[in-house]
Structure 1
């Protein structure tokens, strides 16, 4: 009998299973689909000569995660690859808004397109330098993130809190219009907000566009060599080395509760 049953072999379930296994627990992961990974999978279905990612394909939050870094997945075959530039948004006239690896380079191109926009970009990056570590800590701390949340609140207050809070909750279209004179800076923010399936007019899209843009400046948008499935494969190999198991084709229909505590699961 396992100490823990993890429902779902997506990246969150596999990371949780590995952390529990590191603590000495026996762990079984049950996945309804024929293979593990959830949205972090790849195959050769389009053309046998090429690997195609089936869901997500780039991982700035994985690169930023202290939890994932602590798993040492490089020992289990994971290798990250970076493009020379993080991303680009082409315009109809053939020009591009480009997110470079260095914020100074991004700012230089924005400045050339619209005077003043380079300094505006560096201003957003300086805000990130102040509050980014606290924000990352809050994102990757077990909920509720009390200690990291208090630390982040202090950083926000010290860094022009009201203005920052307003920027994070407003639509990305408005944030872009307020920060930048030209289109390039605006589309860098808006394009990154769309990764959360948020419309440019949606509340909170400004914060997400800023977060993803700054993650790109700090960590890049790395991809696993061999496709998204390589990340899943490394997590599975690590878990199995520690005695954990992943069982696919096992759809959980009910969590069994006894005395107010989870005691097991029932599968289809």
Structure 2
């Protein structure tokens, strides 16, 4: 019978040593790879790209073909159900009148409907006054000859006023493209002139960006108090004026 004694190292020591060897080997491989990559560029220079940046602006004016009106109906009272019923009745009368003027359902949109309590604060104390129900619709009007009459009649039907009236162009994509084309042409001319003055050649466009948007005339406002206090022999005449479409571009040219 053999009495030889075999002593084995603890398992945790073997595992730790194996992990250490793997990590050390990986570190060595990464370091070697980086050294090789660094050696590829020794004695070489990175290509340097020279550029110039130019901007251009294009503007196109056109006569608006739609009017956007926001009509407001506000009701007040102590009982919430009565206030809601009154507000609904008035707004339905307004919408019925608008449809009678030939405005399509798709050109009428409810934009807000809010119900809230109203309070007064005499001497810092809260006093309940009742409830407010406020409903607004936005209509798109294509026949400008009806604007004045509608402004007058919606108040007679129960609206409190027209807090927003502005003019716009329904399909402005073609005008936007025209403004963009003018802006690009202006930027291109600037780049050619600048390259000539600097004694360099334009190679290609390396980047392009655009910031564009329509600029509206000053919005008009028609409040119920103003309209009710005035005695119109005829409906007010509303002039749409002009709408301006703009495009601002920035172009970066590579030069040599």
Give the TM-score range, shorter chain: under 0.3
Structure with the higher strand share, 1 or 2: 2
Query: If the length of structure 2 is used for normalisation, what is the TM-score?
Result: 0.17
Question: Is the radius of gyration larger for structure 1 or structure 2?
Answer: 2
